[in-house]
Amino acid sequence: MIRVERTLDDGERTKPGETIAPKTKAGRRRVPIPKVLHGDLAAHKLRTGRDGEALVFGRTATAPFTPSAVRRRALAAWEPPEGEERVNEPIGLHEARHTLASTMIAAGADLKTLSTCMGHSSITITIDRYGHLLPGSEDEAAAKLDAYLSTHGGA
């Protein structure tokens, strides 16, 4: 699990770079790590000499990274081979967050779990933001209603 217990302030509530409590109670949360990612994160922690409660990513084991540092690292990692042009821009943390949400929906996660993982204060926020990705259609809903009514003596 990834535990979200604090956030790095961008200067909106304190001095830029200070860690603070999340904006809402829902912001403090646990996010499941898929097994396929767990091994990569554990290996990264070992390569960087970090253990136990140390930050997996950060300037040091206890000092968090800055968003600009993440962008610099992403650009360096996405650098195309010599003589080739960059085809895509690297994604940032915000895009990674949307990728998590859309992948969880595709995998069949229920909306309450998704809402909790995303740290949304209300499931309504989750539905408003990601509802267009939910499977099903009006035709499917009508077919399910027909099947229910035919087996339960409905109109």
pLDDT tens track for 34-80: 888 888 988 888 888 888 888 887 788 888 777 777 778 778 878 88
Q: Taking 70 as the threshold, does the pLDDT of residue 90 lie above it? A: yes
pTM above 0.85, yes or no: no
Task: Specify if 109 maps to a domain.
Answer: yes
- For the chain, what is the domain count? 1
Report the pLDDT value the prediction gives residue 32, as an integer from 0 to 100.
86
Domain range holding 131? 91-155
Task: Specify if 1 maps to a domain.
Answer: no
Task: Specify if 56 maps to a domain.
Answer: no
Task: Specify if 103 maps to a domain.
Answer: yes
Of 27, 32, 28, 10, which Cα lies nearest the Cα of 19? 10
Residue 28's pLDDT band, with cuts at 50, 70 and 90, is very high
Of 29, 1, 19, which Cα lies nearest the Cα of 121? 29
Terminal Cα distance for the chain, rounded: 48
Task: Specify if 153 maps to a domain.
Answer: yes
Q: What is the mean pLDDT of the chain?
A: 85
Of 71, 38, 68, 35, which Cα lies nearest the Cα of 56? 38
Task: Specify if 140 maps to a domain.
Answer: yes
Task: Specify if 62 maps to a domain.
Answer: no
Task: Specify if 121 maps to a domain.
Answer: yes
CA–CA dist 67, 71 (Å, integer): 6
